[in-house]
Every structure is written in C-alpha cells, then in structure tokens.
Structure 1
C-alpha cells in the first residue's frame, strides 16, 4: 500500500486476533507500531519484534486515565500518531432476556466508550500536531443487522458506526480521515472461544449456508483492509464503512 512506510501506528487490542495480524501487516509495510491489550503484550512484542519497530503497553480502553497514559506512552515511543486502528473489543453469546445490566455495561464500555475515548485522544493529538492522519474504527456486520444472542454487541457496534460518521464530519476539516471496518465471521481467538460451546457440525453448516464464499474470514484479510483504509490508496475514502464478510450480507 502507498504511504505506510515510516508511519506511526497505534493499535488497540493489538495483541491477538485481528489486532495482532494488523500489527504484523503494518510492520511489513514499514510502519512503526505501538500496540495495547489487556494481556499478551510482551509475547506480541517478542513475536513481532524482528519485523520492525514495535512497542506496547497494557491498557483498559474503557478507563479514561489508562487511555491518557496509553497516548502519552505511544507518542513518546513513536514521536506522534499518524494512524489509529481503534480495534479493541469484546463479545459473548447471551440471549436478550438473560443479559444483565452489568454485562451490558461491560460490552458498551469496551466497544463504544473505549472507541470514543481512544478516538478522541488520538484525534486531539493529531489536530494539535497538524497531522493529516487516519482513524479506522472496528465495527461489525452486526452493526448492519441484528443477530440473536448478541444484543449488547449489536448495539455497541451500531453505535460505533454513528460515532465514525460524526468523527468523519468533524475531523475532516483537519485533514483526518475516519472510516470503519465491518467484518463478518472471522476466525479469531475470540470467535474460537464462542465456537467451543457449539457443535462443530453446526459451525461448518453455518459457514456453508450463510457465507457465499463458504468459509470464515482470516484475520490477515481484515488486516489488509485496515492497511488499505490507512494508506494513500484510500486518500478520498472518508466516513465510510467497509464490509469484509465473504458475501454474508448479500444473502436475503
């Protein structure tokens, strides 16, 4: 992708799944990377350190004080932020009638409050430095259609799309592009933990019957979309949501 070499990239939720795949992809593109996660930071730095310049820290993105520390550490390590991949998130299956207020609050806190806190902090940093940067927020196909047993997740990701649009409207004047990714069913550790409680035959049949390409997506494929939206190849893509779902939403 054009324009990623030498860029400073902050990735939340960058220690596993899609976030770790994105860290690898941006390092391979010649970017400098700083990741955060609740766990696995040292392991990620050890695994990817040979690919380029990477740093990281533990951070709970739902906490304002920790986000402030994250930005300070990332800016110190990188010298500024050109690209934010607002990737951190959480999810689990839970029927609507059984969701507790505490569980609802947990999902919203990570998936939406955290997105706002990190996006605002990075946006302020970019504006202060005069950086014509790029922010990519992690939404989901669940923001575009309701899936049973995921009311808290669906609501959080719908909020992410509206947040993305508003950020795009306000930050565009500063030359900061803001977009969202909407992945469908992607093979990640998070989804693997959900699948563990399901019959393998059901999972295979679901992929066959609900995804026209007949398989789950790979984290590397979402990382490639992150790279595109952050690159100069997407210089006029702004306020958009890019769906990466193997055709799942095309089925009526």
Structure 2
C-alpha cells in the first residue's frame, strides 16, 4: 500500500504553526490539544483572559503552546499579535478564528409553560442595548474578518515555506455554529445571526483568496462542553449522565474533544486539503432535528 494513503501521512499536522483565537478554553482548547498532541511545532493561543491562556499552555506544553493576550475586536491588538508571531516564527500555516460570545438572550418560557406575553417578550428584548446586541457581531463576525486580515501576510509566508507540503497550503478555519442554520431563536438572535453571517463571510473570503492560494473553511459545531453551551447542555442533561434524548441529538450525547480533534485534524492536514469554501457540520445529527436552512 502506498505510504501516501496511510492515516499517519494523510492526517499529519506534524510541524504545523497555528494561531487559535479563543484557544484557551472550550472548543478552542480542544483544538489546541489536538494539534499539540499530533506534532504541532507552535500554537499561539489568543484571548482576553491572560490567566486562562497561561493555564492552558501550562497544562499542555508551554514549549509548544504560547499564550498571547489580545482582543479580536481591536485592530491594533490583532496587528500587534501578528507582529509578535512574525518576529518568532516568520510564518503560520493555520489560522483558526474561534473566539466567540453568546450575546443577549431572548425571553423564553419554562419547559411546559405557555410562551411569555408579547408585551413581556418585547420589553425584555428592548431592554438590551443596541451596543450589547451589535457587540456580538463585533466578536463573532467582524472580529473574524480583521483577524484574518491581520494574519494574511503570515499565511502567505506559510505558503512560501511549504513546510506542510505543496498540496496542503495555508488555511483559515472559522468556528461557526449550527445555530447559524437554525430558524429557532435558540441561544440568541444575535448569536445565531452572527454565526450565519460569519459562515457566509468565510465562503466569500475563500473565493477572494483563491489568487493567493489561501483556503478558508468553516467548522460548525453542535453542542460541545464549553462556557457558551453549558447552560444548554445542562438543560438537556440535567442529571449529568452524559446522555441526551436522541430526538434532540441523534448521537445521544454532547460532542467530545475527540470529535473536535477528528474534525480539525482532517481539515488541517493533507486529508482535508481539497476543502475550500466548505462547511463541516459536527453536531451528532442535531441540526437535522431542527427547523433549519442548511
């Protein structure tokens, strides 16, 4: 059998240099662990909470995982981080735009109760300031755009380095959500619509960057243990048994770090190098149980 068809070759991320925003917790931390466990040369994790980033780096390998405090809603912060990475490595192969927030939540009825009155629903929604609503977009959508722009030169340098092989090339992976396809209010109007926006924007970036040889793809997770999703998971699994109603999640459980690892190793390696402008849904089948537009 050809060595090119072995899993060790196809799914190798050995030597990859990556930047992961929101890489110190939740799904971002799962991605960081996956790349570090499989031979990454350097992983820069970006976030606002320096203590969280530091703990993540220490728990994995501080020689590989480098914390870089920063704010994805601040262009100057992003450009400063890119300069730090450029000074250390001179290039990156992979940018994962993973930072995200939930945003203001709509008023919901308790399970089995009648919906709130229209006046209560309206009053609750209007109590949210325009600034709070649009800040969700600043992080989840606009932040992805400016993060990508900040690291374009380093991604281009990664292509010139060609350390991952000519067939792989540099790539941007955006963490979106199945919420971006759901027609239900779900987490929040701001969150779901911002994820719909960033999914489409990433497809646009994929087309725009074709002349430069930089690929862009979307990972759309379902329910995974994270700060954002714990309230939802807790409601679906109040007994903390690890099991969920298969009418809600056909897999019968929330996602695990192995599920994230499998997806990101595929997308980041030779195995996924033919992906460009693609959306990878990893949700245990949940989206198929929702009114959705996917």
TM over 0.5: yes
C-alpha separation between the residues in 1 aligned to 2:158 and 2:251? 43
Give 5+ residue unaligned stretches, structure 2: 1-9, 108-121, 161-168
Give the aligned partner of residue 85 of structure 2.
Answer: 74
Contact 1:85 1:226 in 2 (8 A): no
Please state how far the C-alpha of 1:204 moved relative to its aligned partner: 8.3
C-alpha separation between the residues in 2 aligned to 1:165 and 1:159? 10
C-alpha separation between the residues in 1 aligned to 2:241 and 2:183? 19
Aligned counterpart in structure 1 of residue 37 of structure 2, from 8, 28, 32: 28
Using structure 2 for the length normalisation, give the TM-score: 0.78
Give the aligned partner of residue 62 of structure 1.
Answer: 73
C-alpha separation between the residues in 1 aligned to 2:20 and 2:191? 20
Q: Which runs of 4+ in 1 moved over 4 A?
A: 128-131, 193-199, 201-207
Contact 1:23 1:33 in 2 (8 A): yes
C-alpha separation between the residues in 1 aligned to 2:239 and 2:36? 37
Please state how far the C-alpha of 1:196 moved relative to its aligned partner: 6.3
> CA distance change for structure 1 residues 2 and 222 in 2, over 3 Å: closer, same or farther?
closer
If you compute each CA radius of gyration, which structure gives the higher value, 1 or 2? 2
For residues 1-252 of structure 1, the aligned pairs below 5 Å read: 2-31=11-40, 32-39=42-49, 40-49=52-61, 53-92=64-103, 94-95=105-106, 97=122, 98=125, 99-127=128-156, 130-131=159-160, 132-148=169-185, 149-193=187-231, 200=238, 207-251=245-289
Residue aligned with 2:229, SS: helix
Give 5+ residue unaligned stretches, structure 1: none
> CA distance change for structure 1 residues 204 and 230 in 2, over 3 Å: closer, same or farther?
closer
| Number of corresponding residues | 251
Using structure 1 for the length normalisation, give the TM-score: 0.90
Contact 1:33 1:54 in 2 (8 A): yes
Residue aligned with 1:189, SS: coil
> CA distance change for structure 1 residues 139 and 203 in 2, over 3 Å: closer, same or farther?
farther
Please identify which structure carries the higher helix content: 1
> CA distance change for structure 1 residues 243 and 216 in 2, over 3 Å: closer, same or farther?
same
Please state how far the C-alpha of 1:223 moved relative to its aligned partner: 3.1
